[in-house]
Amino acid sequence: MTNKNKDQNPNAPLKHENHTLQSRRDFLSQGFLTGMSFTMLPGLLPLLKMNSAHALECGFGTQEAITRIPVMIFDLSGGANLVGSNVMVGKAGGQMDFITNYESLGLPTAMHPKNAGQTNNELGLVFHNDSAILRGIRNTTAVTTRAKVEGGVFCAASNDDTQNNPHNPMYWLTKAGVVGELAPIAGTINSESGGNSMAPQSSLIPTLKPVTLNSPQDALSLVNIGRLGSLYGTEKAQKVLKTIENLSAQKLKQFNAKALPDQIKDLVNCGYIQSQDLLNRFSATAVDPTQDAMVRQAFPNIANNNDQRRTATMAKLILDGYVGVGTVEKGGYDYHDNTRSSGETRDSEIGEMIGRVMELASLKQKDILIYVFTDGGVSASGATDDSQNGRGKIPWTGDSSQRSSSFMLLYRHAGKATLRTADKRQIGAFKDNGAVDTNATMVSNSVTNLSKAVVANYLSLSGQESKLADVVGDNPFGSSINSYLFFNPIK
């Protein structure tokens, strides 16, 4: 017996979706306006070229922004299905060590991955062949682009429908050297993480907050002179900035009499000079996604589609080295509405955005690491949804933190990255009942350790995984760290 649900309007809101976007922060203006006060140091540190309170040397930012691999994070609010019906997961033997039953992960018996033609490995990371995320990626990428992608999946539980999962490693990635020439971190929501899920508390840098980017206009705000320009004009605004620079040096000399380290003085002096240089070195045309022919090719509907507009803005600034790590939050993933069509539509949408980012990286001949997570998960039950968009799969009927996971995809322009261990693309395991084995690894039941594992994998791309403790404060994986890494170095 089947449930012939009518396809829902893909643009209609779902009843569980409560993720309103908030207004953006005027990044440069805030720095300039706090500069006149005695507390100028915290206000202006985000403007430094290095853009990290942990860096104690000038002249580090530009080279690192170009040579480090940029990172794009997709934060899916609501608890999406990322595995089983999308990325394939199995038992301790890996992705192809299939569990007995995938029904709670949305797959009817006929679509069990053991059956012929039910899996696809063209991205290296194995997906179900009818994965909606994979379908979106394939719809927006060339075969040659997909051939240069490899990936890995983390089997890890996380709490449902909450902002309290410490999923986002952006601050640690900044400390690992992922910085941009205009800002180290950015997000589409005005929050501490730039998205829905939080960053680990121990990772936060008090003087740093993501710049908010949702549109090409937000990108332009990174290189305008903010309210100083509107009040005084460009020439006078530059003189004011120079005055702030000189004034700050005097105040820092006063602090130096109280043993303020010389390195901090050098860093801040360097930062003031560079914040003024931004007015001359970066034009509006250079950072505007709508003026970039490659962006328009990868995101042809940037003017009218909100997903494309937000994602294109972030991807352009990341790939061109203006931003180091960017988070794009996308709501609507609490899609357990007793249909399958809603989930399939949402999953295809995020797949398309992932694919467009890959395609833009290909056009710009740049590498990029894409990380996808969600708050919790979802479970399926009941008769199949045989509507056109339901595709004969089992409907999503409830939240399930035990069916959560996250995954990463690495596009390497020189060619597909090689694996640290042959065919190892899964960390952790699922049980035969379709739930995460929470005792399998250090990340299986700890979102904080999951974030640390992501950072370890990033460091491993340049052979620097031994520096994990320096970046995140400890190495919870100890001598077993190699078993938490997917890739061989590519730099």
pLDDT means per 10 residues, the chain with 491 residues, are 46 42 29 27 33 34 54 98 99 98 98 99 99 99 99 96 94 94 92 97 94 93 58 58 54 42 41 45 80 98 97 97 96 97 98 99 98 98 98 98 98 98 98 98 98 98 97 98 98 77
Residue 257 lies in a domain: no
For 286, phi then psi, to 5°, come to -65, -35
What stretches of 362-414 adopt beta strand conformation (E)?
368-374, 378-380, 396-399, 406-411
The C-alpha atoms of residue 221 and residue 230 are separated, in whole angstroms, by 13
Judging by DSSP bridges, how do beta strands 323-330 and 211-212 pair with one another? Answer: unpaired
Contacts of 398 (CB under 8 A, 6+ apart): 336, 378, 379, 381
CA separation, residue 168 to residues 20, 320, 411, 413 (Å): 19, 22, 20, 25
Residue 270 lies in a domain: no
- Amino acid 286: pLDDT: 85
The tokens of 82 are what? 């990322």
- Amino acid 65: pLDDT: 36
- Amino acid 484: pLDDT: 99
Structural domain boundaries, residue 94: 27-223+282-484
- Amino acid 250: pLDDT: 55
Residue 241 lies in a domain: no
Residue 490 lies in a domain: no
- Amino acid 181: pLDDT: 81
- Amino acid 282: pLDDT: 61
- Amino acid 276: pLDDT: 46
For 406, phi then psi, to 5°, come to -145, 165
Residue 170 lies in a domain: yes
Residue 56 lies in a domain: yes
93: exposed, middle or buried (Cβ count in 10 Å: 0-12, 13-18, 19+):
exposed
Asked whether the beta carbons of 173 and 468 are under 8 A apart, the reply is no
408: exposed, middle or buried (Cβ count in 10 Å: 0-12, 13-18, 19+):
buried
The C-alpha atoms of residue 417 and residue 284 are separated, in whole angstroms, by 35
Residue 193 lies in a domain: yes
Give pLDDT tens digits for 165-221. Answer: 999 999 999 999 998 888 899 999 999 999 999 999 999 999 899 999 999 999 988
- Amino acid 246: pLDDT: 56
For 186, phi then psi, to 5°, come to -150, 155
Residue type at position 330: K
- Which DSSP symbol is given to 3? B
- Amino acid 362: pLDDT: 99
Q: How far is CA 231 from the centre of its chain?
A: 36
Which among 324, 342, 323 is positioned nearest to 332, based on CA atoms? 342
Contacts of 291 (CB under 8 A, 6+ apart): 285
Count the domains in the chain: 1
The C-alpha atoms of residue 339 and residue 7 are separated, in whole angstroms, by 9
Asked whether the beta carbons of 180 and 321 are under 8 A apart, the reply is yes
User: Within a 13 Å sphere around the CA of 192, how many CA atoms are in the beta-carbon half?
Assistant: 19
What's this model's pTM, rounded to 2 decimal places? 0.81
The tokens of 122 are what? 């063209």
Residue 462 lies in a domain: yes
- Amino acid 237: pLDDT: 58
**The dihedral formed by the CA atoms of 423, 428, 430 and 436, expressed in degrees to the nearest 10:** -150
Contacts of 433 (CB under 8 A, 6+ apart): 99, 101, 104
User: Within a 13 Å sphere around the CA of 28, how many CA atoms are in the beta-carbon half?
Assistant: 24
The C-alpha atoms of residue 451 and residue 440 are separated, in whole angstroms, by 17
